[in-house]
């Protein structure tokens, strides 16, 4: 029924094969659907839902199911393309003049979940800098309730606390083109350059009256960081630092570069809230985190959450060269 209704509305409906192991045919079909399917706006989704409820007199629960199964979701996109931002067309993790950490670097952040734009409320920063500027490590405090974000939106806010449905990461990068064990060359094994997802959110400020803090500021400098974890630095209880483990964090690892490959490769990694990878899917062979196949990261995102991408490299001689990064976030309305 969902498929026929979706086709009648002109909405692309995914096949009933589910979100199991990636196969060449399923990947090819997903890529084709991504480039040919219509990307609705928030207004488009609301119009379709109104047509189904008022025009066809369908119950709201069924309408929500149809729209969700058809993946008819609005999205936001943030992107940095170093072909246009750098003289060399590449960005090298750890070689930035402003980097505080030579092996771990923030590359990009998304629009806050549930917002179609991010108001540039940071007084000292331009709009572009909102998406690429590092912030001091600040541990999250008491969270704002969902309705604190809903009151800041200029459209009927999502009715669920966890509205995220899909995140698409597109990364164009390579390593230094040499090094590592010979048996790992041209594979995703033995790679010490990779990318991880992070999470930022607004929380109530400690030291102030929590009851009077009714809304988040949406200012960049007020964001706290959930991933990577923030820990105390030394004995000073006011000084914090990011906790970056030496090894990749498998439930956050988006993608690693192929080992000893000099050509820029593009990787498009999709995290879906319904992901349930089969045990036969060897994500390590694809260069992905071995614990990213369950959809948990997507399902647990809350209104206002900000997704980030961190570039990583380890050990002398290894270099992570980045040509571009893009984050697409889809959510239910």
Q: At 147, is the secondary structure helix, strand, or coil?
A: helix
Q: How far is the C-alpha of 185 from the C-alpha of 204, rounded, in Å?
A: 48
The pTM for the full model equals: 0.85
Pair (25, 113) in one structural domain: no
- Please give the pLDDT value at position 115: 92
- Residue 67 shares a structural domain with residue 99: no
Question: Which of 3, 24, 25 is closest to 15 using CA atoms?
Answer: 3
| 15 and 109 housed in the same domain | no
pLDDT at residue 13, rounded to an integer: 43
Note the pLDDT tens digit of each residue in 273-285.
999 987 667 999 9
Same domain, 63 and 95: no
Show which of 72, 102, 117 is a domain's final residue. 72
**Residue 143 phi/psi, 5° resolution?**
-75, 150
Domain shared by 51 and 183, yes or no: no
**Is the domain of 168 the same as that of 291?**
yes
Q: What is the pLDDT of residue 159?
A: 67
Domain boundary among 72, 98, 116: 72
**What does the DSSP assignment read for 75-144?**
EEEEEEEHHHHSTTS-EETT--TT-S-SSEEEEEEPPPTT-SS-----TT--HHHHTT---------SBP
Give the pLDDT confidence score for residue 7 in this predicted structure: 47
pLDDT at 281: 78
Residue ranges of the chain with pLDDT lower than 50?
Answer: 1-8, 10-27, 97-98
Domain boundary among 39, 72, 105: 72
Domain that holds residue 128: 75-331
Residue 275: predicted pLDDT: 94
Quick: pLDDT tens for 30-51.
555 555 577 899 889 989 998 9
- Look at residue 21 in the predicted model and tell me its pLDDT: 39
Q: Are residues 175 and 317 in the same domain?
A: yes
Residue 41 sits in the same domain as residue 111: no
Q: Are 45 and 171 part of one and the same domain? A: no
């Amino acid at each position: 029924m969902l498929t026929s209704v979706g086709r009648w509305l002109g909405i692309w409906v995914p096949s009933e094969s589910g979100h199991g192991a990636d196969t060449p045919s399923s990947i090819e079909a997903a890529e084709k659907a991504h480039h040919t399917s219509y990307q609705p706006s928030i207004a488009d989704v609301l119009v379709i839902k109104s047509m189904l409820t008022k025009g066809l007199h369908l119950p709201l629960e069924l309408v929500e199911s149809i729209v969700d199964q058809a993946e008819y979701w609005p999205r936001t996109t943030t992107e940095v393309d170093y072909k246009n931002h750098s003289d060399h067309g590449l960005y090298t993790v750890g070689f930035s003049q402003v980097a505080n950490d030579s092996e771990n670097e923030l590359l990009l952040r998304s629009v806050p979940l549930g917002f179609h734009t991010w108001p540039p409320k940071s007084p000292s920063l331009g709009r572009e800098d909102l998406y690429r500027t590092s912030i001091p490590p600040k541990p999250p405090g008491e969270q704002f309730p969902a309705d604190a974000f809903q009151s800041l939106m200029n459209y009927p806010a999502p009715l669920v606390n966890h509205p995220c449905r899909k995140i698409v990461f597109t990364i164009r990068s390579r390593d230094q083109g040499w090094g590592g064990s010979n048996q790992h060359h041209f594979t995703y094994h033995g790679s010490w350059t990779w990318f991880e997802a992070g999470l930022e959110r607004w929380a109530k400020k400690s030291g102030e009256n929590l009851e009077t803090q009714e809304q988040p500021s949406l200012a960049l400098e007020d964001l706290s960081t959930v991933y990577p974890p923030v820990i105390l630095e030394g004995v000073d209880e006011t000084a914090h630092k990011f906790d970056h483990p030496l090894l990749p964090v498998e439930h956050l690892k988006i993608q690693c570069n192929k080992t000893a490959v000099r050509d820029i490769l593009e990787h498009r990694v999709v995290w879906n809230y319904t992901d349930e990878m089969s045990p036969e899917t060897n994500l390590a062979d694809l260069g992905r985190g071995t614990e990213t196949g369950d959809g948990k990261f997507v399902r647990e995102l809350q209104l206002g959450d900000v997704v980030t991408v961190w570039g990583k490299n380890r050990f002398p001689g290894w270099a992570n060269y980045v040509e571009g990064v893009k984050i697409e976030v889809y959510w239910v309305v």
